[in-house]
Amino acid sequence: MPGRPVLSQRFVRAIKPLALPDTAKQLTFVVLGNTDSARTFFAAHGLRTSEIPAELLPDKHAVIVWNAPHLTESERRSASALCGFAARGGRVVVLSTPSWNWPELCKVTIGESRRFSRVYPHQPVAHSLLSGIDPQWLTRWNGFPGTVGIPPLEGPAMADAEKILWAKEPKSTVAARVPAAEGEGRLLFVQLDLQRRLDPLKTYYDPAAERLLLNLLAGGTQR
């Protein structure tokens, strides 16, 4: 209507940053598919990173697949070692990816290309990913629609997955612990639009995304 003021639907959130425990800061994060933004993020939080060491130790390392479509051939050849690491209790986290072509690590597929403006916890669920997270923070990051969840997880590994978050309908799972391709270990896949929303100097930064990623890095160690 003429003269009617425009009402903004964007959310402004104030979220207390997570204080990472010393146990997390003592880990070395093995970052696969590394990028400049990943290096900046880990350095800003005082966290050590490395390439894949000769021996992965669950009490010393955690593995983060930051950019799955851009893995090196050397990183791809590490699938069996990563499965063994997961079987020994090591933490392997795969961050949001539009595609997955690494069945040697995990037999998942990525569903139809789409974006979701909100996601919901599977009930009942208790996972460190959601520690200190208000359900409202899982809606419209930075106030824009369609920017919280990306295409859901599908494929054979989902038959025995521990499902954590879903979008639109419960069968559209966007976060889950799924069996590794070898052994008894599990990997954590998180199809949330995290990596693009971590730079406080960018207009699309959202503190909820940063808090969720810090939860992932802290694992079960936060208080």
Does a structural domain hold residue 30? yes
Look at the chain and report how many structural domains it folds into.
Answer: 1
Residue 206 domain flag? yes
Query: pLDDT value at position 31?
Result: 98
Beta bridge partners of 186: 179
| 208 contacts 138 by C-beta, under 8 angstroms | yes
Is the model's pLDDT at 220 over the cut of 60? no
pLDDT at 201 exceeding the cut of 60:
yes
In a domain, 36, yes or no: yes
Q: Is residue 7 part of a domain?
A: no
CB of 187 closer than 8 Å to CB of 106: yes
Is residue 17 in a domain? no
Tell me the pLDDT tens digit for each residue of 125-163.
678 898 888 888 999 888 777 789 999 999 999 999 999
Q: Is residue 150 part of a domain?
A: yes
Domain that holds residue 188: 22-221
Amino acid sitting at position 20: L
Nearest to 79 by CA among 96, 95, 103: 103
Domain assignment of residue 16, yes or no: no
Judge whether 186 and 162 are in contact, CB under 8 Å: yes
The more confidently predicted of residues 50 and 146 is 50
Structural domain contains residue 148: yes
Angstrom distance (rounded) from CA 161 to CA 178: 5
Spatial separation of the C-alpha atoms in residues 68 and 34, rounded to whole Å: 9
| CATH for 56 | 3.40.50
